[in-house]
Structure 1
Amino acid sequence: MTPEIIAGHGPILLICDHASNSVPPGIDLGIAAALLDKHIAIDIGAASITRALAAQLGAPAILATVSRLVIDFHRPPDHAGLVPEISDGHSIPGNVGADRFDRIARYHAPYHRALGEMIGSYRPRLLVSIHSFTPALESGSAPRPWEIGILYNRDTRAAHRAIAAFQRVGVVTGDNQPYSGRDLNMTLNRHGEGNGIASFAIELRNELIDHPSGVDHWAGVIAPVLSGIAQAIQSA
């Protein structure tokens, strides 16, 4: 299944690795259909906010069209969770013994190849990956108070600017929260840091963007921040 590509212009390229809960024909995950509406299958609201930002910024974007339960585009090919057998306490029996190399060839490699081609075509100065997170893990975690988290690995050029910008406008902002980009940053490690392009991931708490008015509000908050960072990166 080919990724969704949104054409655009300008210095920002938007990425949404967990945009879809679609399961391709021929794959049986062995789970109740209701689980496909949970965070384990899709970053709730992430696709909508990515499309809204692309529209406001006129920016290009790429959105995955296969559920993270089939294969996780934000994991390297050798990662144990690439084809998850359990996710947030839920067993995924259809993935036990699955041919991970076939899934890489069918879905993971084409997605990252398309993203690489977009970078070659648009030559962006800033990559921004859009995700969402739950207020707490079903399997147990402390409440997550952040409205937005900014995730990054070694390259802090854009991330530190983003944290400061969101804090200035009163957003409860996590610095490498709810998890650290130093531990999990595959897409941006490969396509951002690997190409010398400034990058960071935005994590939004999903109940803030699981409805149209929330998407509109947060797109309006995020878009000017991204524009300002892109301008600062270009001028640096």
Structure 2
Amino acid sequence: MIDSLPFRRVGEPTRGGIVCVVDHASNRVPADIELGIAPELLDKHIAVDIGVEGVAERMARRHAIPAHLACVSRLVCDLHREEESPAVVPETSDGHLIPGNIGADIERRLALFHRPYHAALAEWLDAAQPELVIALHSFTPALESGGEERPWEVALLYNRDDRAARHAIRLFAEEGLTVGDNQPYSGKQLNATMDRHAEAHGRPYLTIEIRQDMIEREADQARWAALVADVAGRTAHALKDA
């Protein structure tokens, strides 16, 4: 028996305001699902976007940007993938085998987690009619399986619609940050939730990736919550003036 919904909310949207979506906020694994991995792996980036839950909660409670947050680990069901993607129930992640996902009942995972999460998100956004959607993620300074150090402190990802991202890239750079433009990976390949809930509806959005070592501590999460809220607010005003 699955023990809770795959999402939760913090704060109430103001119609026409700014909202935040966090697909990888949680490392929770329901009691009736066995992934077959060492428990310490649930605290790593393969299971959760480190730091983003704290940033999003502070944005909601202190800066009036309500959040729709996942309540299940991406290793159980990756809510930021299309249903047909092989990675929606990953068998490996950054060099780690996920034995419990080999031969898993993917349809059951989709029915329990993916579909209710996205159905609820669609309803929430339709009611809020936001002027801007923030999709909040974090990325590792480097992959465990190899690759170069990632110099970006924050990054903006986008697919076809870059109108909000262009403003945010400039605004973060003006704060003295090293800003990735569709780095360390491209929103043209990894933008599933915003493709579905923002681009498909013509909604401006910011897919923001923060490097995980920047937001591991609570004090840093508070600082970044204020910064993201400020950049998002200024981006929304710039879009209105365009």
What is the identity, as a one-letter code, of the residue corresponding to 2:166? H
TM-score normalised by structure 1 residue count: 0.97
**Who is 2:194 aligned against?**
188
Query: Once superposed, what is the RMSD of the aligned Cα atoms?
Result: 1.0
User: Is 1:111 paired with 2:117?
Assistant: yes
User: Is 1:202 paired with 2:212?
Assistant: no
What is the identity, as a one-letter code, of the residue corresponding to 1:135? P
Per the TM alignment, residue 60 of structure 1 is displaced from its structure 2 partner at its CA by 1.9
**Who is 2:13 aligned against?**
8
Instruction: Give every structure 1 segment of 4 or more consecutive aligned residues whose post-TM-superposition deviation is greater than 6 Å.
Output: none
Counterparts of residues 113-128 of structure 1 (less than 5 Å): 113-128=119-134
User: Is 1:134 paired with 2:140?
Assistant: yes
**Who is 2:219 aligned against?**
213
Per the TM alignment, residue 134 of structure 1 is displaced from its structure 2 partner at its CA by 0.5
Per the TM alignment, residue 218 of structure 1 is displaced from its structure 2 partner at its CA by 1.4
**Who is 1:47 aligned against?**
53
% same residue: 48
What is the identity, as a one-letter code, of the residue corresponding to 1:57? H
CA distance in 1, matches of 2:125, 2:226: 25
Tell me if the contact between 1:40 and 1:88 (Cα under 8 Å) persists in the aligned partners: yes
CA distance in 1, matches of 2:241, 2:8: 31
Tell me if the contact between 2:63 and 2:226 (Cα under 8 Å) persists in the aligned partners: no
TM-score normalised by structure 2 residue count: 0.95
CA distance in 2, matches of 1:55, 1:181: 28
CA distance in 2, matches of 1:127, 1:220: 16
Per the TM alignment, residue 57 of structure 1 is displaced from its structure 2 partner at its CA by 2.5
1:201 partner SS: strand
**Who is 1:167 aligned against?**
173
CA distance in 1, matches of 2:111, 2:162: 32
CA distance in 2, matches of 1:145, 1:54: 29
CA distance in 1, matches of 2:189, 2:119: 23
Per the TM alignment, residue 64 of structure 1 is displaced from its structure 2 partner at its CA by 0.2
Unpaired runs of 5+ residues, structure 2, are: none
CA distance in 2, matches of 1:116, 1:69: 23
1:81 partner SS: helix
* Number of aligned residues: 236
Deviations 1:136-161 (A, max 9, x none): 00000100011101101100110001
CA distance in 1, matches of 2:59, 2:43: 23
1:41 partner SS: coil
Per the TM alignment, residue 168 of structure 1 is displaced from its structure 2 partner at its CA by 1.1
CA distance in 2, matches of 1:184, 1:158: 17
Per the TM alignment, residue 234 of structure 1 is displaced from its structure 2 partner at its CA by 3.0
Unpaired runs of 5+ residues, structure 1, are: none
User: Is 1:144 paired with 2:144?
Assistant: no
Per the TM alignment, residue 233 of structure 1 is displaced from its structure 2 partner at its CA by 2.1
Tell me if the contact between 1:56 and 1:223 (Cα under 8 Å) persists in the aligned partners: no
Tell me if the contact between 1:21 and 1:65 (Cα under 8 Å) persists in the aligned partners: yes
Per the TM alignment, residue 219 of structure 1 is displaced from its structure 2 partner at its CA by 1.6
